[in-house]
Amino acid sequence: MGRTAPTGKQSRVSTLATPVIIAIFIAAGVLIWWAGGVLAATTDAIDAHFGWGEGMGGAVFLAVATNLPEVAIIVGCVYSHNLSLAVGNILGGIAIQTVVLVLLDGPGLRSKVPLSSLVPSLTIALEGLVLIAILMLCILGALSPRDLIYARTTPAEIAILLAWIASLFLIQRHEDHQGWRIAREEIAEASAFVAPQRRPLSQVVALFALAALATLACGVVLALSSDVVATRFHMQGVIFGATILAAVTALPELTTGLSAVRAGRYELAMSDIIAGNAFLPVLFLFGTLLSNQPLLPDAQGPDLYLTALGALLTAVYVIGVILRSKQMLLGAGIDSLLVLAIYVVGIAGLFFIH
């Protein structure tokens, strides 16, 4: 597979017994799960207070807040000089967070129609296409020379940031596109949406900040403990980052998504995942600024493989949103089952990539 997880700098965490480190890792994941539910509820209330659309709420507030663990992991990996773990977590996280939509569509939604047919919104399709474009920029950046760095950053990372910012303007402009508004109103009438309980805005913002801070702190714990776990179990950085660590850091998206679909906020649920995935590659710029070493040119075969896998999974859901098929199989949409099958085969194939 090429790279292995380096031991990096020694820390106090590395002196703890393996069962203790695993317990810490699990505890951080549980706390992230709790914080995700708070983030979903408070974001819903903030959207209602300011009259923002679900697409913007998912693209900005939830997308950034639920990805705070990855921010902390970037910092921890830079500190421990384990950049391969950070790259694997970001690119592998995009793929596994897309699979979260499978859980929201099946066990979470428990509907007679697929989740993608409940969000016939140009916003979701637009976010998916932007994400695919950003992933292509990641591949271009990975194939760029390592010495192509100016002012502690690279052209590809700047392009990714500009693409993400441009997507926010596009989402805001097309949030209430007239051609999609009728379909949205029909879906809203068909859903069992219950308005969120009214709280003073100051309390809502305080709860949001508390949950975001807890998520960030847990991300630091995950970064320190995962580095030690990967080393002790002789797991390569990209494998551990793309599977176990990516699954744990996807817990905020899972819990916020479950809260959103149960409240009838289907667009918010999908936007949190897809727009959050579009935000993740922006963290490459953050990592390069911290380490003065470009992360993307360090990407190798497995990283590019995961990038392509994430783009493929996203394309399936974009097609599902556009087609709005009502067909179900095994309690989920055809697009979700296809995503799950592609992901399982894709992760199995990851172990053969060199």
Top pLDDT among 147 and 348 is at 348
For residue 332, give the 3-state DSSP assignment.
strand
Residue 244 above 80 pLDDT?
Answer: no
Q: Which residues of 134-162 are buried (b: 16+ CB within 10 A; e: fewer)?
A: bbebbbebbebeeeebeeebbebbebbbe
The number of residues in the chain equals 354
The predicted structure's pLDDT at residue 5: 42
pLDDT band, very low/low/confident/very high, at 131 (cuts 50, 70, 90):
very high
Round to whole Å and give the CA distance between 290 and 78.
Answer: 7
- Rounded to whole angstroms, the maximal C-alpha distance in the chain is 60
Quote the pLDDT of residue 319.
Answer: 92
Mean pLDDT of all residues in 75-79: 76
Residue 6 banded pLDDT, cuts 50, 70, 90: very low
Tell me how far apart the alpha carbons of residues 270 and 101 are, in angstroms, rounded to a whole number. Answer: 7
Instruction: Choose the weakest-confidence range: 228-237, 246-255, 317-326.
Output: 228-237
Query: pLDDT tens, 183-218?
Result: 444 444 444 444 445 667 788 888 888 888 887 787
Mean pLDDT of the chain: 76
The CATH code belonging to domain 13-350 is 1.20.1420.30
Residue 328, beta-bridge partner list: 333
Look up tokens 């859980």; give the residue. 103
Q: Which of the residue ranges 104-113, 229-238, 276-285 would you say has the lowest mean pLDDT?
A: 229-238
The pLDDT value recorded for residue 153 is 79
For the chain, which residues make up each domain, given as ranges?
Answer: 13-350
Rounded CA-CA distance 199/105 in Å is 30
Q: What is the mean pLDDT of residues 55-67?
A: 63
Burial (CB count within 10 angstroms: exposed 0-12, middle 13-18, buried 19+), residue 332: buried
Q: What are phi and psi of 152, to 5 degrees?
A: 65, 25
Q: Average pLDDT in the 98-109 region? A: 81
pLDDT at 296 over 50: yes
Beta strands in the chain (DSSP E): 328-329, 332-333
Lowest mean pLDDT among 35-39, 125-129, 305-309: 35-39
